[in-house]
Amino acid sequence: MDVGAALTYGWNGLKNNVGSIAVIALVIVAINAVVQGLRWISGDSQFLLFVVSVLSFFVSLVVGLGLIRAALEILDGRRPQIGDLLSTDGIGVYLVASLLVSVLVTVGLVLCIIPGLIIAFLLQFYGYAIVDRRVDAATSAPQSDPIGALRASFQVTSSNVGGLLALSIVNLVLNIIGAALCGIGLLVTLPVTAIAIAYAWRQLTGGPIAPQPA
């Protein structure tokens, strides 16, 4: 897995879809503003705070899955749309898989932290396995259920530890730099690294990768 090629693709993907990505970013900001507003309105009411927390959790799942879907749209050679971000297709499978990953990572973190980090690394692609339901996928779970999605992610990451670890470290450094620039840099580094991760998934599973002009 070529880290340079993944990041270059991520940069070109951002440049060639900057309008669509900007609109999606604005929608995410608006959604977060609404959720925070609801938290403020809840005041001291524990019931309302619980309802808002559940709503916030569900929205975060939809947005998280939508961002994966949007990144893969770029790999397919299409511009991501708001519908990709807000679609609930596959949300049930993603919910169960996310809960399983959360439990596994939490247990791993309790066991001296490092096991949790390893589990998070090995299962990083489960959302991509859920969205990218291709019959030609080079994983054991092209039509993924929650367990199949986790298995597919483990299969890909455990077979390509070196390249994916390097990509993860570079992505982390880039996003730290982006955050250090008053957070404004994240508007560039987050899309670039997200597209780069989608590129890595497609490359390692033999999926289509549409060319992105420089």
Write the DSSP assignment of the chain as a string of letters: --HHHHHHHHHHHHHHTHHHHHHHHHHHHHHHHHHHHHHHHHTT-HHHHHHHHHHHHHHHHHHHHHHHHHHHHHHTT----HHHHH--TTHHHHHHHHHHHHHHHHHHHHTTSHHHHHHHHHTTTHHHHHH---TT-SSS-SS--HHHHHHHHHHHHHTSHHHHHHHHHHHHHHHHHHHHTTTTTHHHHHHHHHHHHHHHHHHHHT--------
For 213, list phi and psi in degrees, rounded to 5: -55, 140
End-to-end CA distance of the chain: 20
Structural tokens at position 79: 């511009």
Can you give the pLDDT at residue 44? 78
Do 141 and 149 meet the contact criterion of CB atoms below 8 Å apart?
A: yes
Q: What is the pLDDT of residue 134?
A: 73
The reported pLDDT for the residue numbered 3 is 94
Residue 180 CB contacts under 8 Å (≥ 6 apart), including other chains: none
pLDDT value for 48: 86
Provide the pLDDT for residue 115: 92
Residues near 41 by beta carbon (within 8 Å), at least 6 away in sequence:
48
pLDDT of amino acid 78: 94
Number of Cβ within a 10 Å radius of residue 94: 23
Spatial CB neighbours of 109, under 8 Å, sequence gap ≥ 6: 115, 116, 117
- The predicted structure's pLDDT at residue 143: 62
pTM for the complete prediction? 0.91
State the pLDDT at residue 45.
80
Q: What is the pLDDT along the chain (214 residues), one digit of tens a residue?
A: 799 999 999 999 999 999 999 999 999 989 989 988 888 888 778 888 888 899 999 999 999 999 999 999 999 999 999 998 888 888 999 999 999 999 999 999 998 889 999 999 999 999 999 998 876 777 766 667 899 999 999 999 999 999 999 999 999 999 999 999 888 888 899 999 999 999 999 999 999 999 999 8
Residues 6+ apart with CB under 8 A from 158: 122
Residue matched to tokens 């994983």: 139
